[in-house]
């Protein structure tokens, strides 16, 4: 009826209510919108606490996010990075990427700190080193299509984009679920696995 998408309406709400340059307030305002107005399938406060703890413990300098969507997870990651760190985030849908770009910049993060790459992850991952300068990632946050988790993990492995001791955080592996990814991570012998229990978004 409004002629705008849910994602665009969420951004308009951010513009009206959030404090520019304040990432924490941007996320709080996002949560308010999703709890009280319209649901968005993005990372949220509970899964956010897990992300924040990992960032605090590991202080990764090179972070890769698969699935930018509206930029909630991107802002969450970026606000917890140590000085000099760089975040690369990949979004396959140009419409969502356009909203995310505005959200990321509204939160105060420059292109030097957060680079948004638009395109299918299976096409972008093989070009990350040559085209975008990502030699390897210390932390990977997966929050895109669950059926792509295993394929993209194997792509990261085959292109040697995982730093030694890298951490991979994958959201929603139980529901809606990424069973093949989970089985591979548990049985391939390359990873130590831990499942964190959390609620569904909002």
Domain assignment present for 120: yes
Domain assignment present for 104: yes
Domain assignment present for 11: yes
Asked if 101 is an active-site residue, the reply is no
Whole domain around residue 138: which residue ranges? Answer: 6-188
Sign of CA dihedral 1, 70, 72, 13: negative
**pLDDT, tens digit only, all 202 positions of the chain:** 678 999 999 999 999 999 999 999 999 999 999 888 888 877 666 778 889 999 999 999 999 999 999 999 999 999 999 999 999 999 999 999 999 999 999 999 999 999 999 999 999 999 999 999 999 999 999 999 999 999 999 999 999 999 999 999 999 888 888 999 999 999 999 999 999 887 766 6
Domain CATH code at residue 70: 3.40.50.150
Edge-to-edge strand order for the sheet containing 114-118? 114-118, 86-91, 62-66, 137-142, 162-170
Q: What is the pLDDT of residue 1?
A: 63
Sign of CA dihedral 158, 160, 166, 167: negative
Asked if 172 is an active-site residue, the reply is yes
Structure tokens at 76: 């969450």
Asked if 136 is an active-site residue, the reply is no
Confidence (pTM): 0.94
Domain assignment present for 140: yes
Check 7, 91, 101, 171 and give the catalytic one. 171
Residue 120 CB neighbour total at 10 angstroms: 14
In the chain, the number of structural domains is 1
Domain assignment present for 199: no
Check 101, 138, 146, 152 and give the catalytic one. 146
Asked if 171 is an active-site residue, the reply is yes
* Segments of the chain assigned E as strands: 62-66, 86-91, 114-118, 137-142, 162-170
Domain assignment present for 174: yes
Torsion angle of C-alpha atoms 92, 163, 52, 61, degrees rounded to 10: -90
Q: What is the pLDDT of residue 43?
A: 64
Check 65, 91, 143, 152 and give the catalytic one. 143
Check 91, 172, 186, 190 and give the catalytic one. 172
Domain assignment present for 1: no
Q: What is the pLDDT of residue 198?
A: 77
Asked if 22 is an active-site residue, the reply is no
Domain assignment present for 201: no
CA distance 147 to 141: 15
């Amino acid at each position: 009826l409004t002629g705008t998408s849910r994602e665009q309406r969420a951004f308009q709400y951010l513009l009206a209510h959030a404090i520019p340059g304040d990432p924490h307030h941007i996320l709080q305002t996002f949560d308010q919108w999703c709890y009280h107005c319209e649901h968005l399938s993005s990372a949220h406060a509970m899964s956010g606490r897990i992300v924040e703890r990992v960032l605090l413990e590991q202080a990764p300098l090179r972070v890769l996010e698969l699935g930018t969507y509206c930029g909630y997870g991107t802002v969450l990651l970026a606000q917890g990075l140590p000085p000099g760190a760089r975040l690369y985030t990949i979004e396959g849908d140009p419409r969502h990427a356009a909203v995310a770009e505005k959200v990321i910049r509204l939160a105060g993060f420059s292109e030097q700190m957060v680079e948004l790459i638009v395109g299918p992850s299976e096409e972008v991952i093989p070009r990350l080193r040559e085209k975008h300068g990502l030699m390897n990632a210390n932390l990977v946050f997966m929050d895109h299509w669950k059926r792509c988790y295993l394929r993209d993990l194997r792509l990261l492995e085959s292109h040697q984009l995982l730093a030694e001791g890298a951490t991979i955080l994958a959201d929603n592996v139980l529901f809606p679920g990424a069973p093949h990814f989970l089985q591979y991570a548990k049985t391939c012998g390359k990873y130590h696995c831990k499942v964190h229990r959390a609620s569904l978004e909002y």
